[in-house]
Amino acid sequence: MFKKILIANRGEIALRIIRTCREMGIKTVAVYSTADRDSLHVKFADEAVCIGPPASSESYLNMAKIMSACEITNANAIHPGYGFLAENEKFAEICREYGIKFIGPTPQQISMMGDKITAKDTMRKAGVPCIPGSDGLLEDMNEAKRLAIEIGYPVILKATAGGGGKGMRVVWEEKELEKAFNTARTEAGAAFGNDGVYMEKFIEEPRHIEIQVAGDQYGKACHLSERDCSIQRRHQKLTEESPSPFMTPELRERMGEAAIKACNAINYEGVGTVEFLVDKYRNFYFMEMNTRIQVEHCVTEEVINYDLIKEQIKIAAGDAISGKNYYPAMHAIECRINAEDPYNDFRPSPGKITTLHTPGGHGVRIDSHIYDGYVIPPYYDSMIAKIICVAQTRIEAIETMERALSEYVIEGIKTTIPFHRALMKDKNFREGNFNTGFLNNFKF
Ligand code: MV4
């Protein structure tokens, strides 16, 4: 097992990783920017190294600074968390060259899943259901026109270097295609330095259901059931839950098998997530594979009663997995609390927390790095806490969440707590009657 792990991240996920390392008897190194000098991850880690100024590009994304911090502290592994360098194949490669274990998949696995056409092509060949569409990149306008007619409108254009909703265009009829194709290309080129675009049938009002997976270094893989992440706003998830209210035991079996096929196709090593779109007939289609631990991993932890960070570290250290799958025994819901004003287009609201009362009690887990007097810096993601509530049934988990939200007092900044309180009250949400379009017409 590793003696010392450097955590190349900040905020709640850095704390989350430090906590598991402490339980496992592994020493920790925090890295921080000058804006995070007074952060809890700096205080909770055994050692801390300042890696630069506030801008991410000069600190949490600066590979040279992070490798130096690793060298001077003698850490033998790096946990990247999520975001920042978590899905950067170059960083995983540099770790390998330095003899530092990157806690995550291989550089090749990261790069194959990072390129969306390569990912889809790999999955289709492995027999994972994929959305009908172009065979790889669209060469030109004529090909796009021909294909759109063949597939049938509406279609969607996606950037191969994109993902998470960036660089997408829905096209409802032929007269919109030319303009959409050109703007999709230009936008993709500007945003990713790669103007490759592909086409798919547009699935209307789908659910976003993802399967948590784990694979070891010996080619064995398993699934850990699903999370429903359909409640999103502009491709930002706001709440997630497990199990999905739309799931059936039969669908879980089929989606779980498909997700394991996806892992086997690339000999996946580490914990990961296979994202699917699910239509109203319960047809499901591969969308993307995330090769990192995700923000919403906690709902899975609560329903299967496993520490996924511990599993991730054990797999990286060379432990074998049993190969059996995991099924939900409870129901868990997570609300992401962001320093944003939900009454003002979710505009960021950084600043000092002047009063803080944190909920607790039965069935309530809070993963957060905030404290009374903490100043939320404006430079990073606005998520400041996650409330995860777990109960025997979905409706009880919602009731626990309502109680926890009503106890949470955060003053000095605006937060998304009022949004979540309204969501938990919503009749359609309570009935599990929602898809990815739900928030487009949600008023509160
Ligand atoms: C789609 C789709 C419908 N049809 N692809 C959004 C994020 C990126 N991963 C892919 N996305 C979508 N791809 C086809 N062929 C609808 C979406 C989509 C979406 C997906 C998941 C969660 C929220 C969403 C919101 C809008 C669009």
Q: Is the shortest distance between the CB of 232 and ligand 1 below 6 Å? A: yes
Are 70 and 93 contacting, i.e. CB atoms less than 8 angstroms apart?
Answer: no
pLDDT value, residue 162: 84
Catalytic entry in 10, 252, 292, 394: 292
Q: Is the shortest distance between the CB of 369 and ligand 1 below 6 Å? A: no
In this structure, which residue's CA is closest to atom 21 in ligand 1? 208
Q: Is the shortest distance between the CB of 240 and ligand 1 below 6 Å? A: no
**Cα-trace Rg, the chain:** 22
pLDDT value, residue 165: 73
Ligand 1 atom nearest 155 alpha carbon: 15
292 classed as catalytic: yes
Q: Is the shortest distance between the CB of 288 and ligand 1 below 6 Å? A: yes
Dist. CA 339–CA 351, nearest whole Å:
9
Going along the chain from its start, the domains and CATH numbers come out as 4-103 (3.40.50.20), 132-201 (3.30.1490.20), 207-441 (3.30.470.20)
In this structure, which residue's CA is closest to atom 26 in ligand 1? 436
Query: Ligand 1: which of 277, 435, 441 to mutate, judged by most atoms within 8 Å of the beta carbon?
Result: 277
Per residue of the chain (444 residues), what is the pLDDT tens digit?
999 999 999 999 999 999 999 999 999 999 999 999 999 999 999 999 999 999 999 999 999 999 999 999 999 999 999 999 999 999 999 999 999 999 999 999 999 999 999 999 999 999 999 999 999 999 999 999 999 999 999 999 999 988 777 779 999 999 999 999 999 999 999 999 999 999 999 999 999 999 999 999 999 999 999 999 999 999 999 999 999 999 999 999 999 999 999 999 999 999 999 999 999 999 999 999 999 999 999 999 999 999 999 999 999 999 999 999 999 999 999 999 999 999 999 999 999 999 999 999 999 999 999 999 999 999 999 999 999 999 999 999 999 999 999 999 999 999 999 999 999 999 999 999 999 999 999 998
